[in-house]
A and B are shown apart, each in its own frame.
Chain A
Amino acid sequence: MQLNREQLLAAYRMMRTIREFEDRVHVEFSAGDIPGFVHLYAGEEASAVGVCMNLDHRDKIASTHRGHGHCIAKGVDVEGMMAEIFGRGSGTCGGKGGSMHIADLEKGMMGANGIVGGGPPLICGAALTAKTLKTGGVAVAFIGDGASNQGTTMESYNLAKAWMLPAIFVVEDNGYAESTSSSWSVSGSQLGRAAGFGIPAVQVDGLDFFAIHEAAREAVERARDGGGPSLIHAKLNRYHGHFEGDAQTYRGNGEIERLRAEHDPLTHFRKRVTEAGLLEGGQLDAIDAAAKSEIDAAVAKAKSAAMPPLAELLTDVYVRY
């Protein structure tokens, strides 16, 4: 499918916003300003954006511990996210969730998840809602290579197929689960597993926004048409540690530098669209600058925002108790 100029600009804007967001959180974390566990998505942007650009307000996604990119791609407010990560009352979740639990159900973002493999069953539920209420919606679970080994994930493949749900499983294979290589931990293959459940699947290069976008488009179409679940195996790379603070000694010599230099989905996108004359460098530079100021502003705002009032400790445990 051809993306028009506006869509291309939007795609680049989202990817750049994610990159800027993540690289900046990295800096702020190092400075000691961000509490807790933080997992960054930089390097994997083409997946979140390539997939989510095929979704609309009817559609739901479930994310992982590495959730910022999915949030941004599904339209969650960036200022709220940054404030949440800083633990402020103005955060998306009032500071009660933090990096690992950003959610915005109104945007169809069902939550980052601190539990590896937590999302796929939830997505079966969201897909069931869509099917039952005939909303036309689809539901997408993002799944790490490590998470692909979790029983909850595999059960969801089978359930989604048995119920013929409009569900899409996106395996974001960045090569590692913490320090463990997916070449070791994943016996067989992602595509082989999908085939084992009778689920149509493709492997795509996570460097390539267009490839992911196209694969997602097909999967979304199949889902909306009642064709049941699909799986996309995206091979991609993470630029930061597993979590902030990870020394990453398990990575190859110069691996990260090489990835940043040669396997950057943003660079790749820029090259593709400018060489094809679809967009001009200046337009993209402007987006880069705008994203930087947007994130600057979000950080400044987050830092100056108030902590949640203590009374919030006891609220929202239940709707009513």
Chain B
Amino acid sequence: MLETPSLFRYDSLAIPDVNELVFGKAPRPVKCGFGLEIGAGMVFPEVNFTLPPIGISEETWPEILHEYEEMATNIVRRAVAMKVPGVVLEFELLPAMTEKPEWGAEVTTLLRRHLAAAYDQHKMLSALRVTPTDIRDQGKPPLLREGEPCDRLLRSFELTIAAGADIISVESIGGKEVHDRALMMGDMDAIVFALGVLCPADMRWLWKRIVRMCAQSGHAVPGGDSACGFANTAMQLAHQKMLPEVLAAVVRAMSAVRSLAAFEEGAVGPSKDCAYEGPVIKAITGTPISMEGKSAACAHFSPIGNIAEAMCDLWSNESVQNVRLLSGSAPEAFTEMLAYDCRLMNVASERGQALALRDCLTASDEWLSPQAAVLSPAATIAISRAIVAEKDDYRRTVAAGHTAVAIIRDGVAGNGLALSKKELQWLNRIEAALDALPATGDELEAALGEEYHGLFRPASYGR
């Protein structure tokens, strides 16, 4: 089924002034859940949590519910004790809970019950984000717009919304079948094709549906998607010294285009925590964003621990297992840490020091890694401008890539960003590849190496 392309495209920035791009404040705040308003001046913790090692089956299901009960109890208790002005809980379904959508819905109900009780008893403002797993990548090549996994994914949105999800997100995987290979081969052509052509096509198809389901529910808001499977995979690989950092940085900037597509289809935020492309989304659309940084060291290391905080509206720990630490459970401990970080930001805002804190957070990471360099408020504005200046997703992606290269070059030239010889060679190689790209995505597709064509189904992208 081919779709009419959506018509709305951002062509200017909701936040053109870099000094308006700061944590806690978004031009289009989001109200949801139990009295929460996100982006209206305050930053709230977004607590993420997951199961310790345990198989998911009918047999273990009661035990699994018990784990979620325990996590919810501990997190809510700590949030209340910390007197947070509000909190978001994110429930990321595990694959088996999307395969069987009723399971995901059951946990949603359970978590929502805890938030309702905290609202009743302690007036604690809160919202529940639910993120079904994109399980459509099972076939090789994957079938994205039909088939059993696709049906279950859509059903999972439906059931979790019905069970009380306040914010809906997903980390969708369209385009990943090509991007994974391309990334490992360091092949810029194929990377750009995946990010600029395939990804947005799937995003627009999927998010049209999510937005519709949320609208019908009357209570759920479509939060946003994450380029996690793309840009965070690259970041992890760079962390493990498997890919150059400059490649990860350029992929990060380019990935914003595919995530933006969700917002052009009607997503309203808060964007997903692991979507480090969030600041670009915020600058362009004005929606509040969730970010994670040092507070997510439980889930992954990163060179962007402070700078990631600079423009956030929710502050997350990405994911932590329900294991025991000396103080108590890990989800409870991370709730406390996030709450303290948020307290600091909110007090800075109250005292008129938000920009000063934002700039310290930024400066502390900015020139220590190319991946940090593309995340500063200034870089965000530059990348955002480059994106909205172009009309189609492919050209936006290329433009974002060029801008990222330029930012990194500036950093090396004038700001003491130190790159190894190897990294510099890669930067040249990336730039040369970007320069050599054809004018349209179709031309690029035609020129693509044979090995990539077998990896994806054109029909999955309406091509």
Physical interaction between A and B: no
- Residue numbers of A with Cβ under 8 A of B are none
